[in-house]
Chains A and B, each alone.
Chain A
Amino acid sequence: MDGFHDLGGFQGFGPVPHRINSLSYQPVFKQDWEHLAYSLMFIGVDQLKKFSVDEVRHAVERLDVRQHVGTEYYERYVIATATLLVETGVITQAELDEALGSPFKLANPAHSQGRPAITGRAPFAVGDRVRVRDEYVAGHIRMPAYVRGKEGVILHRTHEQWPFPDTIGHGDLSAVPQPTYHVEFKVTDLWGDAADDGRVVVDLFESYLDKVQGGHAVVP
C-alpha cells in the first residue's frame, strides 16, 4: 500500500529529535495509557486470536492520512486494534462511541482483499543478484517503495518461514509460509547522487523478488 507510512526516503523532515546517549529510557511509558496500546493489541492477537500482527500493521497503514500525521505512535495502535475488533465483529462502533462520549474515528476500510504468494520457484542463494518485482500492491505489503524495481545482492536467506504478509495482513489464513532474504542495495542505486553513499539492507519476502540472470545489465 503506497501510503504515508512508507516513509523511507521521504524528504522534508527536520533533524531527528535526539542526541546519542542523552536518554535513560526510563520510564518506558511516558503517559499512563501508553502501555494499553500493545496490551490491548496482544489480547486481540494472542488471546482472542481474531487478527494477526500483520493485520495490525495494515490497519495502522489504513488510518486516514491526515489522522496518521496528527497522531502519536501508541495512539495509532489503539485505533488499529479498535478498528480490527469492530471489523471482526467482536465489538461495535456504537459501543466505542458511547464509551468515549464522542465519535471514535477508526481506520479506513481496506482497498484490497490481499493477494497470494508466488510458489513453486527455486529458492534464491546467498550472492544471487535479484531485482525487486515492479509491482503496485493496493493492500498490505512489506516492500518499502524505495526498492521497487531495484537490484541488490542476497546476503542471507532465513532458515525459518513466515506467512506471506500480503495474504495474512488481510486476515486470509491461506497465507503460504515463505523465507525472507536480506538484500543489500547501494544507496546510490536507490536515490542516485541525491543520497549519502552507503548501503541499505532490506528484509524481503521471496515473492517480492526475481533472480537477475548473470551478466545482464540493468535497463538504463
Chain B
Amino acid sequence: MSTSAPRATPSTPAERARALLQVMKNRALVPDGYIEQLTQLMEHQWNPQNGARVVAKAWTDPAFRELLLRDGTAACAQFGYTGPQGEYIVALEDTPTLKNVIVCSLCSCTNWPVLGLPPEWYKGFEFRARLVREGRTVLRELGTELPAEVQVKVWDTTAETRYLVLPVRPAGTENWSEEELQKCVTKDVLIGVALPSAG
C-alpha cells in the first residue's frame, strides 16, 4: 500500500506563474498593456472605500437607501462601481436583531468593484469551512461578539449575485458628514464580520 506524502514540487509558485506568462508571451497571447491595466483596476480602483461611500450615502439619503436595497446594481452603478464580479449586486440590510455576513465556501467570490479583491483570510480554508456552520463562534473569534438576540445570517456566494452588507448606523454619528461616516465603514464591515464603530 502506498501511503507516501505528496512530493515537494521542484518549482515555486512564482516560477510557475512566470513560466505560464513566458509561454503565453512566446505565443503572442498577451496583449500590450493588458496585465498592467487589469492590475491597476485590481490594486487601486476596486477598493473598499467604494463600498464605504455607498453605505455612507445610504445612511444619509433615504431615497438612495431604498434604491440600494431594492436594486443594488443600479445604486452602485450611480457611482460607477460595477464591473467584473460586480454585475448583479444585492445589499444586505442589518437590523438591531440581524447580522449579515458574506462568504464564498466553494472558492472566493466577492463583489470586487465595491469591496475590492478578497483578503487572504476570506479565501482561506478556515473561513470557508467554518462560517456557514458556526457563524456566531467565528465572529466572536474574529472580535465581534453579538448579543443573543441578534441572529447571524450567512450568505454563501454560490452563483452570480455579489453582496455587500449595509450595517446599522452606529449611535453617536447623528451629526456626521458622509465623509466622516465613510471612515467607520471598513472592508471587514462590508464583508459583515465587523460592526461599524463611532469610536
> Would you call A111 an interface residue if the criterion is a C-beta within 8 Å of the partner chain's C-beta atoms?
no
Neighbour of A15 across the interface among B119, B126, B193, CB < 8 A:
B126
CA distance A176 to B142 in the complex (A): 41
Nearest CB in chain B to that of A99: its residue: B19
- In the complex, chain B residues whose CB is within 8 Å of the CB of A39: 34-35, 38-39
* B139 closest partner in A (C-beta): A20
Chain B residue contacts of A64, Cβ below 8 A: 6
B residues 118-132 near A (Cβ < 8 Å) are 119-121, 123-130, 132
Let me know if B60 is at the binding interface, CB within 8 A. no
- A67–B17 Cα gap in the complex (Å)? 16
CB-defined interface of A60-86 with B at 8 Å, one 1/0 digit per residue? 100010110011111100110110010
Q: Are B42 and A28 in contact (CB under 8 A)?
A: yes
- Cβ-defined contact, A195 with B133, below 8 A: yes
Which B residues are in CB contact (< 8 Å) with A202?
Answer: 156, 158
A5 to B116, CA, bound (A): 23
Q: Whole-angstrom distance between the alpha carbons of A143 and B65 in the complex?
A: 31
- Tally of B interface residues using CB under 8 Å: 76
What is the count of residue pairs linking A and B with beta-carbon distances less than 8 angstroms?
251
A-contacting residues, B79-124, CB 8 Å: 84, 88, 90, 105-108, 116-117, 119-121, 123-124
Q: Does B174 reach chain A (CB closer than 8 Å)?
A: no
Q: How far apart sit A42 and B24, CA to CA, in the bound complex (Å)? A: 13
Cβ contacts under 8 Å, A11 to chain B: 129, 133
Residue of A nearest to B135 (CB): A198
The contact of B153 among A34, A160, A199, by CB within 8 Å, is A199
B57 contacts partner chain A, Cβ-Cβ < 8 Å: no
**Is the interface on chain A under 10, 10 to 19, 20 to 34, or 35 or more residues?**
35 or more
Which residues of B pack against A, CB within 8 Å?
Answer: 5-6, 9-11, 13-24, 26-27, 29-31, 34-35, 38-39, 42-43, 48, 84, 88, 90, 105-108, 116-117, 119-121, 123-130, 132-138, 141-144, 151-161, 186-188, 193-194
Q: Which 7 A-B pairs have the closest CB atoms?
A: A8-B105, A18-B121, A66-B6, A100-B19, A20-B194, A198-B152, A99-B19
Taking Cβ atoms with an 8 Å cutoff, the residues of A that contact B are 5-11, 13-21, 23, 25, 27-40, 42-43, 47-48, 57, 60, 64, 66-67, 70-75, 78-79, 81-82, 85, 90-91, 95-96, 99-102, 104-105, 142-144, 146, 156, 158, 160, 162, 165, 180, 182, 184, 187, 190-191, 194-205
Q: What would be 9 A-B contacts, judged by CB atoms less than 8 Å apart?
A: A16-B142, A32-B14, A34-B17, A35-B39, A36-B17, A39-B34, A82-B20, A96-B23, A102-B10
